[in-house]
Chain A
Amino acid sequence: MSLFNTIADIFSQSGYVQITWQQAVMILLSFVLIYLAIVKKFEPLLLLPIAFGMLLRNIPITGIMDGPSNGQAGGLLYYLYQGVKLGIYPSLIFLGVGAMTDFGPLLSRPTSLFLGAAAQFGIYVAFLFAILIGMPENLAAAIGIIGGADGPTAIYVTSKLAPEYLGPIAIAAYSYMALIPMIQPPIMRLLTTKKERAIKMEMGRKVSKKEKIIFPIAVTVLTSLLLPSVAPLLGMLMLGNLFRECGVVERLSDTAQNALCNIVTIFLGITVGATAAGETFLKLQTIEIICLGLFAFAFSTVGGLLLGKLMCFLSKGKINPLIGSAGVSAVPMAARVSQVEGLKANPSNYLLMHAMGPNVAGVIGSAVAAGVFLVIFG
């Protein structure tokens, strides 16, 4: 055998020859996402592992996402993906989110919960629209959850209802979360007057430590009894928050907030990216999913703002309707957008703490909306 033949053999069996056009497009797309994550800093903590997972999956022959067969072990990402498939990673991410979240602003103004509910409006509008264009109801529900602006919840619901669409739905959900500062402000300015945006809100009451400890326990019991399907999500969220508030397990709280959350983020990101195989991703339906996701997101913002306006009217101008848009649960990005828009209308207006109430209420609201879909279609 000559050296030339050996090289020709290696080349003929390599990925360079076997790559399909779909895989090539996906690899290029992963480069774009890597660029957006590193250079534009669009949700880099998630977008970078997602993009790299997409890159690895679309390199041919590696078998990195293949399951075990003929007595051979499966690929690395196949095993890591089981954490997504079994709903483990989203729940662990919620543990970290709970440990990072201060429910104080919500407890000091409980009416924030109404805004968190109203901002789930887009979930149902997108669901209806998906039904209208002939999508199966389980996929419509998974797409609708994008409107909750909550990545882990979207992944959790999709892994249960429409796992074959996990890639496009997760990528759409996280992309829109990163694009909140671009999506929400035009809607906020369209639906509110400058006078409303300039409203300064009074500080809420001081919340005691006891209330902060009792709240996560009460939420867990109440919501898990009503919607057992979301007990893993809400239970973990509230456990993380209890770690934070009880003050006796600082090491656990620290681990949940940092080490554990970071490790799970890596696994979740890379395996979600690895679900975006060229053959299944490059379809017209992916574009439909991405468009419906934007639709869901926009209508969730509208829902929150409209209820914010109603509360502004009923409170005789004491509530700034901008905090309504923070009811979508992207924490704390949506609250920051409310703060920025409030500051633009009135340079001495600081809405951040007021917007954090609806923002964390939105996390609970989107989990409840997910639970409803899981009960109906799961």
Chain B
Amino acid sequence: MKRGENMNFAEGLLVAANGIIVVFIVLISLCLVVKIISLVVGAIPDKEKQTTENNVQPVSTVSNVSVPQPERDIKSQGDVILKGVDDETAAAIMAAVSETARKNGENPKFKSIKKID
């Protein structure tokens, strides 16, 4: 088909049908590719995740070593000592620090969280 020609309706219908079929075939293929990628990636053990899981224990181990006795204004939450900090704030701080530290390849170990006025 040359540019600038006037095609008849039947030819146009054929082009339109071919077009929409090709669009569907390409996007269905991509859908399959996405599924394959997710299967393959899911099957490969995630080193980063494993490292993180392995490092969960050291947090408590380290914290168990020399935990000072809680003072009057000190609360203990699990093995982490909270000084003037409520549970929710402590959880948010630990989550934020863990996220940042993991990006830098570090493994955070929490001993205590203290409020500084």
Contact = CB atoms under 8 A, between A and B. Distances in A.
Q: How large is the interface on B (under 10, 10 to 19, 20 to 34, 35 or more residues)?
A: 35 or more
Nearest to B34: A110
A120 B20 contact: yes
Contacts of A207: 38
A111 B38 CA distance: 14
Given A137-B6, A214-B37, A365-B23, A113 B30 contact: yes
Interface stretch (B9-17, B59-67, B71-79, B80-88): B9-17
A117 B23 contact: yes
20 contacts: A107-B37, A114-B28, A121-B20, A124-B17, A131-B11, A132-B12, A137-B5, A137-B6, A161-B3, A214-B37, A214-B41, A218-B33, A219-B30, A222-B30, A227-B26, A365-B27, A368-B26, A372-B18, A376-B19, A377-B3
Contacts of B13: 128
A27 to B, nearest CB: 31
A161 B95 CA distance: 54
Interface of A: 106-107, 110-111, 113-114, 116-117, 120-121, 123-125, 127-128, 131-132, 134-138, 140, 161, 207-208, 210-211, 214-215, 218-219, 222-223, 226-227, 361, 364-365, 368-369, 372-373, 376-377
B30 A128 contact: no
Contacts of B42: 208
A154 B3 CA distance: 17
A117 B24 contact: yes
- Nearest first, the 9 A-B pairs at minimum CB distance are A131-B12, A124-B16, A110-B34, A117-B27, A113-B27, A110-B31, A113-B31, A372-B19, A210-B41
B105 interface: no
Given A124-B20, A226-B26, A361-B27, 17 more contacts: A113-B31, A117-B23, A117-B24, A117-B28, A120-B23, A125-B16, A131-B9, A132-B12, A134-B6, A136-B5, A137-B7, A137-B12, A137-B15, A138-B4, A214-B37, A227-B26, A372-B23
A369 B23 contact: yes
A161 B1 CA distance: 13
B57 interface: no
A161 to B, nearest CB: 7
Interface string B36-57: 0110011010100000000000
B89 interface: no
B100 interface: no
A249 to B, nearest CB: 16
B24 to A, nearest CB: 5
B12 A140 contact: yes
A370 B29 CA distance: 18
Contact of B1 (A132, A137, A222): A137
B66 to A, nearest CB: 37
A132 B24 contact: no
A135 B4 CA distance: 9
Contacts of A161: 3
A215 B4 CA distance: 38
B91 interface: no
A114 B42 CA distance: 23
A116 B6 contact: no
A210 B17 CA distance: 36
Nearest to B38: A211
Contacts of A125: 16
Contacts of B35: 110
Contacts of A218: 30, 33, 37
Contacts of A121: 20
B101 interface: no
B93 interface: no
A121 B18 CA distance: 12
Interface-central residue, B13, B17, B20, by most chain A CB under 10 Å: B20
Given A110-B35, A138-B4, A161-B3, A373 B19 contact: yes
Contacts of A116: 27
Contacts of B7: 131, 137
